Amino acid sequence: MKIWPALLLTLLAPVCSQAGVLHCDIDSGGAAPFSPYTRENPVAVDQNTPDYTVVLALDYAQFLPNMRLTCTSDGNEFEAPANFDGTISLSLSAVNDSALDWAGEAQTTNNGIKMKMYIKAVQISEETPPASYPAAQMASGKRLGVEYPIINGKDDTTLVQFGAQYNAGKTLYKYDKQYNFAIESMRAELIKFGWMEYQSQAVIPPGAHLTFTIDGLGGIATVDVPLGSGVYMAAPSCSLDNKHQTVDLGNISKTGSGTFPQKGPLVRFGMDFTCSSYTNNVEFTFDEPYTVIKGRDTLSTTSVQNGEKLQGLEVGLFDSEGNTVRMGVKQNLGVGQKGKNTANFQAAIIQTAAKVTDASNNDFTGNFTAKADVTITYY
């Protein structure tokens, strides 16, 4: 009898494990804060702008208004390292894959421009299930709704701690995004720090992103928050649309009694100007062409008939809110948008004495005018 060797094949079926894998996410709601500042619509910054000037400020509503941080193990439990204390957190670790420097300034592709950021927690989960560490709570020393400048990314951006659910022996843990969530907001500033290069490439490169690290479980796991397309910069250029503008102030009835000065009704007028690109600061300066005295609150008047200067009658200029515009003092209008803009001011006739007279001290009646030189400054 022959004995044939037998080959025994054993099929080993994989053991299905329900062990969870922890992962955290940050949903920015599709925010792309840098997208408006394209090559066709750059931010304008003059080379003479003082260093440390904020050239672009994106507030919380404009930058990252609602970052929803969540952590989950997809309904399954997992084993944690022996030193796990039951909580994890997320902290900013890099901007465009580069760590922040010691002053909290993120590098850009332009040596003269850096970015600073600020962060705050605006909402945390108020519900914690049974057998769980607090699902979400503020980190030690941090307060809800308080802004923190980002200098040391990890220390300054660790705002919220997420606590795990646990089994009876605290050997297995679980996270659930229904409970383990918080909402944080960020704002950012681009700041001039030196000589800038007006280059064709973006200051903040396309595909810009923030990288957050998950802290508390050991190892390195990260989450990226996209910021959209890049920011482009250009030398500014703004100019008045109308080099010679006339404002009709109406008529005034002289009065010989009462307290002076007496101001007539305010007349609103707008001055249109056009900028080649978004410009962070636009300033208007009014000057009295007939005098070298700076800081006067009014403009002198002259007779239309003979050009003689009048006494007892002047014209006051005011901003859109009625505040006095002083001659030779810059009026900051804030940003100038690319294209047409309008600066709004007001003017009024002011009788400064009981008698209105001409250069020969004769009573004056008739048409008069006041003139101002206007300088537009932008940076």
Q: Are strands 64-72 and 23-27 parallel, antiparallel or unpaired?
A: antiparallel
Q: What is the pLDDT of residue 295?
A: 72
Is the separation of the CB atoms in 298 and 252 below 8 Å? no
The whole domain housing 81 covers 23-234
Q: What is the pLDDT of residue 6?
A: 33
Nearest CA to 56 out of 208, 226, 212, 236 is that of 236
- What total of structural domains would you count in the chain? 2
In this structure, the answer to whether residues 228 and 276 fall within a common structural domain is no
In this structure, the answer to whether residues 179 and 308 fall within a common structural domain is no
Q: Is residue 3 included in any domain, yes or no?
A: no
Question: Among residues 234, 249, 265, which one ends one of the domains?
Answer: 234
Report the CATH number at residue 253: 2.60.40.1090
Q: How far apart are CA 245 and CA 273, in angstroms?
A: 12
Q: What is the pLDDT of residue 379?
A: 78
Question: Among residues 234, 265, 284, which one ends one of the domains?
Answer: 234
Q: What is the pLDDT of residue 294?
A: 67
Is the separation of the CB atoms in 230 and 199 below 8 Å? no
Which amino acid does the sequence have at 290?
Answer: Y
In this structure, the answer to whether residues 230 and 250 fall within a common structural domain is no
Q: Is residue 10 included in any domain, yes or no?
A: no
Q: Is residue 166 included in any domain, yes or no?
A: yes
Q: Is residue 7 included in any domain, yes or no?
A: no
Is the separation of the CB atoms in 42 and 190 below 8 Å? no
Number of H helices, E strands in the chain: 1, 26
Per-residue model confidence as pLDDT tens for the chain (379 residues): 333 333 333 233 333 334 568 999 999 999 999 888 888 888 888 888 899 999 999 999 999 999 999 999 999 999 988 889 999 999 999 998 888 877 888 888 888 999 999 999 999 999 999 999 999 999 999 999 999 999 988 999 999 999 999 999 999 999 999 999 999 999 999 999 999 888 778 888 778 899 999 999 877 799 999 998 778 888 888 889 998 899 999 888 878 777 888 899 999 999 999 998 888 889 999 998 866 566 789 999 999 888 889 999 999 999 999 999 999 899 999 989 889 999 999 999 999 998 899 888 888 888 999 999 999 988 7
Is the separation of the CB atoms in 24 and 88 below 8 Å? yes
H-only helix segments in the chain: 153-157
Q: What is the pLDDT of residue 220?
A: 76
Q: Is residue 13 included in any domain, yes or no?
A: no
Whole-model pTM: value is 0.66
Q: Is residue 15 included in any domain, yes or no?
A: no
In this structure, the answer to whether residues 118 and 99 fall within a common structural domain is yes
In this structure, the answer to whether residues 217 and 264 fall within a common structural domain is no
In this structure, the answer to whether residues 147 and 277 fall within a common structural domain is no
Q: Is residue 59 included in any domain, yes or no?
A: yes
